[in-house]
Structure 1
C-alpha cells in the first residue's frame, strides 16, 4: 500500500513592516499638505426700528453709498458730506478712511453706519468697504493698532440707477 504523506500546511506570517513605514511617512506629509481654511464672520445689522421707536430729530445718521461710480459719505438727514469718485485702481478706500476719521473725531460716541450697496457691486469691494468702515490702523506709543471707527454696520440697497453726486453736480468736491 502506498503511503500518503500529509502535506504540512502552514500559514505564512504577515510582514507589514514596509506598510507601517509607509504610513508613518505618508500621514504627516498629507497633514502638512492639507489646506486649512479660515472662516471669518461679519455681524450685520439691518435697517429698521423696533415698533414704536422714533429717531431723535438731532441725531446724526451716517450713511455710505457704494455705487458703481464711487463712494458717497452722507448724513441721511442733512445731505452729502463727501463724494469719492472711482480712481484708476478702483474705489478710493483711503479717501473714505480719511473722511471717516474726521467724522469720528467730531462725533466720537457714534458707532453705527448705514452702508447702501448698489446692485452689481462685487463681493470683494463690499467686504473691503465694510472693513474700512469698521476700523483703521493708528500708531499709539510706537505700536500700530486697529482703532475703531464705526463697527455697527447696517446694510441697505441703493437705487439701481443712482449716480455719484459729484458727477450729477458737475465735478468738484
Structure 2
C-alpha cells in the first residue's frame, strides 16, 4: 500500500515538473544557410533554407536564448562563424559573440505560471527574426532598429508574457 502511494506521488511530481515545459520550432526562411544555436538547453545545427529544428525546453529554464549564426564553417563539431560564434562549437554551451539578434526567454517565470519572451539587439543585429508564443504576440525584428526589440539595457517595455504550456516559433528572415 505504501509503494502505490509513493508511485502516485512520483507521477504527480513528474506531471507538475513538465507542466510548463515548452517546445520551440526554429525555422530558416533565409535564402542562405544559417546555424541556429540555443542555450542553456545546449545545441546548434545547420539549417538550409526551409529547414526547421525543434527543441524542448524544460520548465524553470531562465535566461534562455536562441540566435542565428552566419558564415559558418564546421569540420565535425568544431569550426567558426562570422556572426554569433560560440567559441567555435557547433552545439553551443556559451552565448554567441556579437553581433547577434537574440530571442530571449524564461520558461515558468518568477510566478511559475507564465513564460516571458523578447527579442534583443542590444549586442548588435545579424539576422532578421520573428519570435512568437502560441498564446502571445508575434515580435518582428527586420533590422537593427526594430521597434519590437530591446535596443538598450533599460528598455523595460519589450518583454511579453505568455501562459505556460505554450509553443514558440523562431523564424529567421520572416
TM-score range, shorter chain: under 0.3
Q: Tell me the TM-score normalised to structure 2 length.
A: 0.24
Which is greater in Rg? Answer: 1
The structure where strand makes up a greater share of residues is 2
The structure where helix makes up a greater share of residues is 1
Q: Tell me the TM-score normalised to structure 1 length.
A: 0.24
